[in-house]
């Protein structure tokens, strides 16, 4: 019995990086100074605006990179949409609204769609480092049509899993919802079964290496770590996988990493 408990404790500790990889929740206790976050969020949105981006896919580092699984560099992905906004003082202007899927406070196995600001988006960041994809203009227009239509909300599945299988309808995470909206726009469809069929046919998900014990005891660490929607191999949607898919099909104007002091193309 003691040996079993020791194995269980070790196994659960190995699952912590996966639990931390979620990062799909609104900011709790900020890690970085608010002034630095505000300056960086302004840098990102000013860069997007200068490039004329009406819709972009942006990711953040919500957890310590040293604990993230191989192949996962960013933990939260959302659409940034250039919009008319109402400021705190009641005046109006233009800027980016962020269309997120966040885990629900109090129940991390459920999610909800939330709009917030660039500063809100980066408020819980572990480091000021963002991955950005600017789709080509034609695709931006198609994405905008989906995001502003009932299809955007209809594609949301509130049953959340950190390692959601992007070809399955059973669970969803923020990156999978982003992918579903992207495929809906590309193929002019709101049919979820067709969207999943297209993902299975054309999208290569990121493999996540888990051994048998890790898969067995994952739900004990968090019910949001279920792999019930996977077969023998665990694979999930990531920012990197979406970027590679879009670049391989020539769907991007630009894809890059931006930090406070540099910008590097992928």
- Strand 127-135, strand 252-258: pairing: antiparallel
C-alpha distances in angstroms, 118 versus 42, 84, 188, 209?
Answer: 7, 14, 29, 33
* Local confidence pLDDT in tens for the 266 residues of the chain: 444 333 333 333 444 455 444 557 665 567 899 999 999 999 999 999 999 999 999 999 988 887 787 889 999 999 999 999 887 788 899 999 999 999 999 999 999 999 999 999 999 899 999 999 999 999 999 999 999 999 999 999 999 999 999 999 999 999 999 999 999 999 999 999 999 999 999 999 999 877 544 554 444 445 677 888 998 899 999 999 999 999 999 999 999 999 999 999 99
The predicted pLDDT at position 96 comes to: 98
The predicted pLDDT at position 142 comes to: 98
The predicted pLDDT at position 86 comes to: 83
> Three-state SS across the chain?
CHHHHHHHHHHHHHHHHHHHCCCCCCCCCCCCCHHHHHHHHHHHHHHHHHCCCCEEEEEEECCCHHHCCCCCCCCEEEEEEEEEEECCCCCEEEEEEEEEEEEECCEEEEEEEEEECHHHHHHCCCEEEEEEEEECHHHHHHHHHHHCCHHHHHCCCCEECCCCCCCCCCCECHHHHHHHHHHHHHHCCCCHHHHHHHHHHHCCCEECCCCHHHHHHHHHHCHHHCCCCCCCCCEECCHHHHHHHHHHCCCEEEEEEECCCCEEEC
The predicted pLDDT at position 28 comes to: 59
Structure tokens at 70: 């191989």
The predicted pLDDT at position 11 comes to: 38
The predicted pLDDT at position 10 comes to: 35
Q: pTM of the entire structure?
A: 0.88
Structural domain boundaries of the chain? 2-265
Are the C-beta atoms of residues 82 and 137 closer than 8 Å to each other?
no
The predicted pLDDT at position 223 comes to: 65
**Tens digits of per-residue pLDDT, 9-40?**
333 344 445 544 455 766 556 789 999 999 99
The predicted pLDDT at position 220 comes to: 42
């Amino acid at each position: 019995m003691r040996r079993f408990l020791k194995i269980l404790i070790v196994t659960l500790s190995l699952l912590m990086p996966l639990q931390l990889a979620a990062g799909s929740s609104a900011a709790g206790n900020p890690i970085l100074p608010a002034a630095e976050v505000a300056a960086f969020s302004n840098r990102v949105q000013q860069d997007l605006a200068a490039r004329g981006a009406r819709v972009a896919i942006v990711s953040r580092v919500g957890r310590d990179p040293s604990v993230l699984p191989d192949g996962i560099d960013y933990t939260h992905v959302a659409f940034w949409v250039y919009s008319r906004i109402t400021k705190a003082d009641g005046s109006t202007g233009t800027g980016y609204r962020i269309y997120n899927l966040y885990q629900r406070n109090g129940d991390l196995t459920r999610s909800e769609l939330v709009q917030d600001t660039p500063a809100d988006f980066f408020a819980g960041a572990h480091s000021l480092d963002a991955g950005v994809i600017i789709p080509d203009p034609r695709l931006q227009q198609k994405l905008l049509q989906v995001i502003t239509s009932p299809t955007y909300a209809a594609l949301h599945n509130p049953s959340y899993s950190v390692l959601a299988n992007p070809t399955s309808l059973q669970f969803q995470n923020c990156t999978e919802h982003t992918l579903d909206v992207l495929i809906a726009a590309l193929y002019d469809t709101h049919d979820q079964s067709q969207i999943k069929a297209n993902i299975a046919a054309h999208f290569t998900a990121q493999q996540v290496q888990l051994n048998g014990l890790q898969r067995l005891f994952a739900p004990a660490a968090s019910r949001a770590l279920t792999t019930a929607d996977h077969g023998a191999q665990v694979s999930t949607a990531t920012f990197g996988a979406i970027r590679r898919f879009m670049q391989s099909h020539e769907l991007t104007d630009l894809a890059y990493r931006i930090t406070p002091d540099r910008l590097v193309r992928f």
